Structure 1
Amino acid sequence: MTTHRTAGEEGPRPLLNRRLAEFGTTIFAEMSALALSTGSINLGQGFPDTDGPEEIREAAVRALRDGRGNQYPPGPGVPELRTAIAEHQRRFHGLEYDPDTEVLVTAGATEAIAAALLALVEPGDEVIALEPYYDSYAASIAMAGGVRVPVTLRPHGPAFRLDLDELRDAVTDRTRLLLINTPHNPTGTVLTRAELAAIAELAVERDLLVVTDEVYEHLVFDGEHVPLASFPGMRERTVTISSAGKTFSFTGWKVGWVTASPELVATVRSAKQFLTYVSAGPFQYAVAEALRLPDAYFDGLRDDLRAKRDLLGEGLAAAGFTVHRPAGTYFVTTDIRPLGETDGFAFCRALPERCGVVAIPNAVFYDHRDEGAPFVRFAFCKRVDVLEEAVARLKSLAP
C-alpha cells in the first residue's frame, strides 16, 4: 500500500489520522492477551466473569424468538426501553425526563460519550476531564478536534480527591465542556454533594456544558451517588450518560443511554445516527425489564461487590501494596512503591510471570504520566474463588 505526500511535508503521509496518532492498541488488549498467553488471572479488564440475572437473559431470548428488535429498531431506541429509562431516573434520582424527547439509546456508554463530544465540541474547544480518565474520553475529544485539559485527582488519605480550586483555574474563555465521571474509573472516587454543588455553580457561572458518565451509579459502597443534573441550573446544560453493562453484568450487550433536555438530546442524536445508527435491538427489550427489577436486586449487587472489594483490597494490602479504598466502581487502585517499584507499566508487564495475575497500569489514564506512574488498577468484579486464588498468588510479592 502506498501513501501520498501532502504539500510541504517530508516523506509519506501516515495512514492514521493525526488526531488519533497517540492512540494505538489499548492497554486492555495488550494485558488481556498477556493473560491468555500466560494462563494468568485477568484482573485487568472490567467485565464480570458471570452473567447477570437469568430472567433478564431469558427476556432477551423471548425478544429474539418473538421477532422484537431483529430488524432496525427506532433510531432513538425502542419505546419500551426509553420509558423504562425515564422511570429509572424518576425512581432512583427524582429526575423527570420525557421518554419521547429527552432519552436516547446508544451502543453502550462509550458511543454515548463519543456522540456527545462529536456533537458538542468544535475544533479548538477545550474540554476539561478528571484525570485519570477512561481511555475513550481522550480519543473522543481528539476525534472532535477538541483540546483535552486534565484536572488531576490525587491521593488524599485512603481516597483520591478533586481539587476544586484547580478545576476552577482550568476554565478559560475557550472551555466548552466539563466531562465528569462519578463514580470515577479508575480511582473509585464518588464525588460528594458539596463537590458536585461546586461543579454545578462553576458550570452555571461560566455557562459551560457538562457531560456526566454515571455508568457505575448503582455500584456505590460508601457515600451516595447524586446526578449532577439534579443541581440548580444543571438540567438544561447536562448530558447524563449511563448503561446496562455494569449494573446488570451483560457488558457484551452494549446498551447505553443519554438523558438530557430535548435540545441536547437532538444534538447528540445528530452525531449518534452516523455512528451505529441503531444497535442491540432485542437486548433493548430485555434491558427495559432489567431497569424495573426490585430494589433487592440493586441492593444485592452492591453488597456483593462491596464484599469482593474488601476481599481483594485486604489481600492486596497483605501483599504489600498501599490500597486506595474505592467508594464505588469495579476497581481498586494500588500504589506499588511500598514494593520497591515505581513504574506501573513495567510492573504490570512482569506481574503475570511473577505471580500469574494481570492488572492495568493507571498511567495509561493520565496525560501527566508521572502522576500515574506508581499506581496500578485491579478489577474485583470476579467470582469469589477467582479473587481468593488471585490473593493467594499475590502473597508472593510481600516484602
Structure 2
Amino acid sequence: MSMDFADRVRRVEPSATLAISNLASELEADGVDVVDLSVGEPDFPTPENVTEAGKQAMDDGHTGYAPSNGIPPLKEAIVEKLAGDGLDYGTDEIIVTPGAKQALYETFQALVDDGDEVVLLDPAWVSYEAMAKMAGAELSRVDLSGHGFQLEPALDALRETVSDDTELLVVNSPSNPSGAVFSDAALEGVRDIAVEHDVTVISDEIYDAITYDVEQTSLGSLDGMGDRTVTINGFSKAYSMTGWRLGYLAAPAPLVDQASKLHSHSVSCATHFVQYAGVEALENTDDAVEEMRAAFSERRDMLADLFADHGKDVPVGDGAFYMMLPVDEDDQAWCEGAIEDAHVATVPGSAFGTPGYARLSYAASEERLREGVERLADNGYL
C-alpha cells in the first residue's frame, strides 16, 4: 500500500532540538556519558507543593474531563497573574492548553490561511517555522544576529519587512535560543509597526520569569496592543513542569472563540488534575522560582567566563537559559562532530534560522557545564 501524505506535513522537518536529544539518548543507551546541553528543560524537580497539589487533585477525583477551555480556578489565577504584568484579560479570553506549544499551534491555525505572510525574528524557536508552514504561511524573516540578537537595532529591517499584507508577527522575549530580552524601545517599535499595518502579534512569554537584572515587559500591555496581541505562556520553564504539559493563551474574545473550536476538536481539554497543580504553581511558588532563577544566573556567568578563557566571545542574554556559541559556518557538521567526538550535545543555530552558531542550554549543573566546555576544548571544538 502506498500512502499519499498531506502537503502540510511534507512542508516541515522534525524538531531539530528533539532530534539531537534523541541522538544523545541513543548514545547514553550504549553506555556513553553525554553532556546533554541540547534540551530546554530545567534540571530542577517540580516544586514539591505543586506535585502535592496534583496528587491531591487526583485523590479528590479530578480525573475526568475538565471544561474545555480550563477550570475556573486556574483561569482566574491566570487572569490575576497577567494583570500583574499589566495585561487586562478576562476569564473568557483564556484557553488553558496541554503545553504552550499547543497554544501556539491553535493560534497559528486560527489566524493563518494559505499564502498569508508570517514574519519571524531570527534566531527563532524551531517550531514557529513548522507551525507557520503547516498553516500554509509564506515566511519572511528578520535577522537579529548582527545586533547581538537584540531587536532594537533591527527595527528598520522589521519596518521594511512588515507590510499591509502581513498577517502575523511572532515575538519571543526572553528569547529561545538567544536569551535576549527585548527593550521597551524595541517593543514600542513593534507596536508602532503592528498598528500601522494592522498586524496581529504573538507574544511568546514562556520565559518571562527567568530574567537577570532586567524586567521583561509584556507586549500586550503597551497602548494599542491589547486588541491585537495573543499572549502565550505556560508552566514548563518557570515552574519546572515540562512533563505536566500545561500552558495557555490569552487573546481577544473573537480569537478565543475560533481557537476554542480547534481546541475542542483536538485535545478536548488540558489534563484535569494538572490544572489544579497549575493553580498552586501560580499562587505559592515564588521562592522556588527565585531559587532556580538565581542558579541559572550563576551558571550563565560561569559559562561565559569559561568560554572567554578559551578565547570565545559569546553573546550573553538577559533571560531564559540559553547561549548562542559562535562556531563554524557549517554549524550542523560542528554539532554532529561535537556529540560524536566530545560527547557534548548542542543544537545547530541553522535550526533557528541563524547558521554559524550552536545553541547551548545551561539548565544543567555547574559541574556538567564545566565538563562540557573542557570536552569541547580538548577535542578542538573551541
TM-score category, normalised to shorter length? over 0.9
User: Which range moves more in the overlay, 123-132 or 379-388?
Assistant: 379-388
Residue 52 (1) aligns with residue 46 (2) = yes
| C-alpha distance in 1 between matches for 2:34 and 2:237 | 23
C-alpha distance after superposition, 1:296-316 (max 9, x if no partner): 333333222111111222223
The corresponding residue for 2:363 is 381
Structure 1: unaligned runs, 5 residues or longer: 4-14, 367-371
TM norm structure 1: 0.89
| C-alpha distance in 1 between matches for 2:212 and 2:123 | 20
| C-alpha distance in 1 between matches for 2:345 and 2:381 | 17
| C-alpha distance in 2 between matches for 1:186 and 1:329 | 8
Structure 2: unaligned runs, 5 residues or longer: none
The corresponding residue for 1:26 is 15
| C-alpha distance in 1 between matches for 2:381 and 2:267 | 47
C-alpha distance after superposition, 1:221-259 (max 9, x if no partner): 142211111111111111100000001011011100011
C-alpha distance after superposition, 1:97-126 (max 9, x if no partner): 212x11110111111111001001111211
The corresponding residue for 1:2 is 2
Measured after TM superposition, the shift of residue 398 of structure 1 is: 6.9
Amino acid of the structure 1 residue aligned with 2:217: V
| C-alpha distance in 2 between matches for 1:152 and 1:268 | 30
Residue 394 (1) aligns with residue 376 (2) = yes
Partner SS, residue 65 of structure 2: coil
The corresponding residue for 1:10 is none
The corresponding residue for 2:89 is 97
| C-alpha distance in 2 between matches for 1:252 and 1:43 | 18
Check the 8 A contact 1:160/1:324 in 2, yes or no. no
Runs of 4+ residues deviating >4 angstroms: none
Match of 1:365 among 352, 370, 379: 352
Partner SS, residue 150 of structure 1: strand
Check the 8 A contact 2:11/2:134 in 1, yes or no. no
Matches within 5 A, 1:207-226: 207-226=198-217
Measured after TM superposition, the shift of residue 392 of structure 1 is: 3.2
Partner SS, residue 227 of structure 2: helix
Number of aligned pairs? Answer: 375
Measured after TM superposition, the shift of residue 387 of structure 1 is: 2.1
The corresponding residue for 1:346 is 333
Partner SS, residue 248 of structure 1: coil
Indicate the percent of aligned positions where both proteins have the same amino acid.
33
C-alpha distance after superposition, 1:102-154 (max 9, x if no partner): 11101111111110010011112111111121121112111211211111112
TM norm structure 2: 0.93
Amino acid of the structure 1 residue aligned with 2:66: P
Measured after TM superposition, the shift of residue 45 of structure 1 is: 1.0
Q: Assess, with a 3 A threshold, how the Cα gap between structure 1 residues 303 and 155 changes in structure 2: closer, same or farther.
A: farther
Aligned-CA RMSD value = 1.8
| C-alpha distance in 1 between matches for 2:88 and 2:292 | 25
Residue 74 (1) aligns with residue 67 (2) = yes
| C-alpha distance in 1 between matches for 2:313 and 2:341 | 19
Partner SS, residue 301 of structure 1: helix
| C-alpha distance in 1 between matches for 2:88 and 2:276 | 21
